[in-house]
Structure 1
Amino acid sequence: MSKRPATLAVACLATATALLLSACGGGAGSKDEDKIAGADTASRSASPSASASDDGIDRPKVELPEGDELVFTPEDGGEAKADAVLRDNAEYLRAIDEAIGDQNLKSKAVAFYSKNLAYLGSVDWISGFIKDGTTVTGTVRFFDRKVTFSKDGSAGLTYCADESKGYTKDVKTEKTNVTPVTKDSYVLYNDRLRKNDQGVWQTTNSISKRGSEVCQP
């Protein structure tokens, strides 16, 4: 089952080809590579609720759509720096689902946890659901989450997604679109993150490979 519109998946693959060396290679994530004109000035929603976290950062409150659940394994690995990457990336993914549920292209939370190519891709992703009149429901499990750090200070994060129990739902009729489980229900992600001045690990690039053998059960 794919929670993502097929047209957006094709667009992401095209972007992935161009980004493969920068996201996965030794020179990935330099400040110049992370910059895209206009991405940092994206519109934000006016007043979603916010809460102060244990690290003192005032973060937007993220609430998933009713019936939607995201499970992260592991949630942390016992190393503070890597755990901060895992937490902020999880909130980024949750923020995307919240924006889909709210049918909101100007999500403050998505802009808070992402920038550059990742932010632009997220907006494109969310717009596909809005255009189709669908939201998300069910459970998606993110597993084998592994963090590495580059000399330039950026972080790499690879993980798998099990979408076999995650579905789309029609906003108007509230009918869930249940589809058969196939190898494409499992997705491999390779993300690049950079810590901003606030101390938030923002996702800057994201590459996905649907049907990857690495993530098959």
Structure 2
Amino acid sequence: MNRRPTLLTALALTATAALTLSACGSSDEGSSAEDKDSDKIAGADTGGGKSAPPSASPAPAAEGRPKIDFPSDAKNIFEYEETGDPVKDAVLADSALSVNSVDEAIFVGSADTEALGFYNTEKALSGSITYVLGYVKKDDTWVGETRYFDYKVSLSGENGAYVTYCSDESDSFIKNKKTGKVEDTPTTADSYVLYNTKLEKRADGVWQTTDVASNRGSKECQP
């Protein structure tokens, strides 16, 4: 399905960010080519470099962080491999929580949720608010499962990072809250999306998503 027909496509990464993202699989601050491998693990920095089952949403809230709740009929699956670098693993975990925060706002039917502004800021926040309000206006939500995979992360100094990843929306569907009707859309190339994201670390250590660009139908993400 095209669950995110306009999500963040209006957001523009800077030229520098886009260039960095295109090369984010290259060696960076001691990272190695193994960081690009895409065996699947949970989206938390558990350390040790061992793989674990993919993480479903929502993840337990860490101390001082807002809890994110999903309905029982919707799930995000984040598939990526621990890098062994605690900074990169923290970036990946907060990147996933940024995605979850947007979806939680859709489920709640309000862009005024704590998590949305906690994990997103600047262009990413304004674009996400617009996107969420589009769902609210139509009285829509979504059901099913969305898979996020093929993660690549690159650090930029002490407080900057770039993450690219793909999404597979073939098993998630728009649902109208009022009628209960679910749009049973077929799987096409547009069910797969490539995301390029920029994150910055706050003083409290949270990695907020600041900017996003997406490419629906990207061949890089199609099976």
TM bracket, shorter-chain basis: 0.7 to 0.9
Mapped to 1, the partners of 2:66 and 2:10 lie a distance apart of: 31
The answer to whether structure 1 residue 23 and structure 2 residue 7 are counterparts is no
Counterpart AA for 1:3: R
For the pair 1:156 / 2:162, whether they are aligned, the reply is: yes
1:172-191 → structure 2 map (5 Å cutoff) = 172-191=178-197
1:17-166 pair list within 5 angstroms: 19-25=13-19, 53=62, 57-74=63-80, 76-151=82-157, 153-166=159-172
The residue type paired with residue 96 of structure 2 is A
> CA offset at residue 176 of structure 1?
1.2
Residues 93, 14 of structure 1: CA spacing in aligned structure 2 closer, same or farther, 3 A cutoff? closer
1:2 matched residue in structure 2: 2
Query: 1:17-36 CA deviation, whole Å, 9 max, x = no partner?
Result: xx351422359xxxxxxxxx
| The one of 182, 187, 204 aligned to 1:198 | 204
The answer for the alignment partner of 2:32 in structure 1 is: none
1:156 alignment partner, SS class: strand
Deviation at residue 64 of structure 1 after TM alignment: 1.2
Verify the 8 A CA contact 2:119 2:209 in the aligned structure 1. yes
Once the 2 structures are TM-superposed, how far is the Cα of residue 168 of structure 1 from its aligned partner?
0.9
Partner of 1:209: 215
Q: CA deviation at 1:52?
A: 6.1
Overall identity of the aligned pairs, in %:
41
Tell me how many residue pairs correspond in the alignment: 185
Following the alignment from structure 1 to structure 2, what is the Cα–Cα distance between the partners of residues 191 and 156?
6
1:189 and 1:153 mapped to 2: Cα distance?
Answer: 20
Q: Which runs of 5+ in 2 are unaligned?
A: 22-59
**Aligned equivalents of 1:160, 1:179: Cα separation in 2:** 19
Post-superposition CA distance 1:124-159 (Å, at most 9, x none): 110110111100110000001111011363100000
AA aligned to 1:137 is V
Distance 1:14 1:100 in 2: 18
- Could you say what secondary structure the match of 1:138 adopts? strand
**Structure 1 unaligned spans of 5+:** 28-50
AA of the residue aligned to 1:179: T
Q: Tell me how far 1:14 sits from its aligned partner.
A: 4.4
Q: Whole-Å Cα distance in 1 between the matches of residues 82 and 66 of structure 2? A: 21
Tell me the CA shift for residue 177 of structure 1.
1.0
Post-superposition CA distance 1:47-104 (Å, at most 9, x none): xxxx862xxx500000113311100111633321111011111111111111100101
Q: Which residue identity lines up with residue 21 of structure 1 in the other structure?
A: A
